[in-house]
Structure 1
Amino acid sequence: MHARIINTPRSPQRGMTWTFGNSWAPENSTEFSLDPNGEWYDEEVEAPVVQTRPVSAAATKRRTQVSRRPHVVWKQLYRQTYLDEMLRWEGHGDARCGESCADCKAHRVEEPGAAAIRCLDCFVPDLVCGECCVRRHRRNPLHHVECWTGTHFVKTTLKALGLKIQLNHLSMQCSAPVACNTNMRILHTNGIHDVAVEYCGCRPLPGHIQLLRRGFYPASQLTVKTCATFELLRHLHLMALSTKGLTYHFYRALEKSTNNTGIDMPKSRYRALLRMSLQW
């Protein structure tokens, strides 16, 4: 048993005295809890909705419970339903009955692939095979995808599935592609993406110009390893003007959007983002 020392004042003249406890553990107190018994939550739920203008007593009597206490109605009638739907999203959802890729069936493939990949940024979160997912995202290469393991979804990347971004061709095909740096990362509003970019080798055009023509702002010109989308830089500019937020906090939010576990975090591109935002 360890001792805890507590200093207790005796008198202004003689200073402090020491009282020995029997443990280093903190005292049991509900004050350390954010909401010890749920009363604070109930108080916020039952609180009136903020009024933008004065409301007369007669108008208050005519208002329904949904209008006066919308959170109370939601808590009593809909909270469990909302929670069930959010948990349902973590699983197969509408695609729980399909084991074969729907796109393969639509293209009449003899042996359809397993429906195991879903995109979190597409409007319809259906499950397809890896090849069909790459085919779908040839023009949307900055989406987050997940792979079904049989019990849960794990994060993966379009680069790992085989997607390559071809520059300088509207058809996304080139007769002489030139691979970019293997550690290429693109910063977008939904996170940090590892991508496989291929420059065009059939037309004499510098690599950074090809990136700019696809809306990717390069952090350097010779050996490009980091880019930011025009949309991200525009969003960062507006956030800085309206909220006075720091670029560091913005980048930390991008990291959290990419991986919020703190494990296998992507190598920092914060300094590169500072250069690109300043130039922008």
Structure 2
Amino acid sequence: MSLFRPLRGFFLDELLRHEGLGDAFHNPHCAHWSSALNPTDPSASRFLKCYECEACCLAHHRRTPLHIIKEWNGNFWPACMHKMTIIEAPIIHQIKMRYCKCEKSDDADNLQQLMRNAWYPATVTDPRTCATFRSLEVYRLYNVAGNMNVRDFVTALERVTDTTTASGMTWLLDWYKQFQRMARQWAFLWRLIRAGVGHDPAGVESAKLGVCAVNCWGCPHNGRNLPPDW
């Protein structure tokens, strides 16, 4: 968490980037082709905060790295790979991946590539564990609506991933601490977003203490719920 504090502005900007058009802000186009795209057109599909044409949307699942593959033929992975654990509810995936080296990614470091793929890193130094934005949002709703804690959430994911872990026949690494840290940062960042801090030109470092607080509607406030000259 101490390493995260100086980078909270970076994480806040990357989250807000997913709410817009990203690199295509001035020229909306399909994420995979150069053809122009009208985001207001109902035929334009939006998948994982990314605009795609219909053909790309239909083919997207073939390029999704979180599909569960049971067979390996030794021909698909390049030589230089990174092992990564991806928490994508309800499954915990362990995959091999490499960072992109295309022209579009020249100005994006490894952390930015993970965030722009909607993967939230558990650490800012050589991350080996990520949680998808969707999983973090699912946990937040479970926590708020069902009072579920991180331990129960992670345990449920482990049992769905491998049902034999509950009986002790197999063993999985415990991702409790990593997910707890990501969930705390996610909740903090979204408090900043809802308070409008992410759009402050001065940046998150200039935010004053209490800027994210919500005034209680039941408490007396002059000019709001009190009569004049009360």
Task: Normalising by structure 1, report the TM-score.
Answer: 0.39
Higher strand residue share? 1
Task: Normalising by structure 2, report the TM-score.
Answer: 0.47
- Structure (1 or 2) with the larger CA radius of gyration: 1
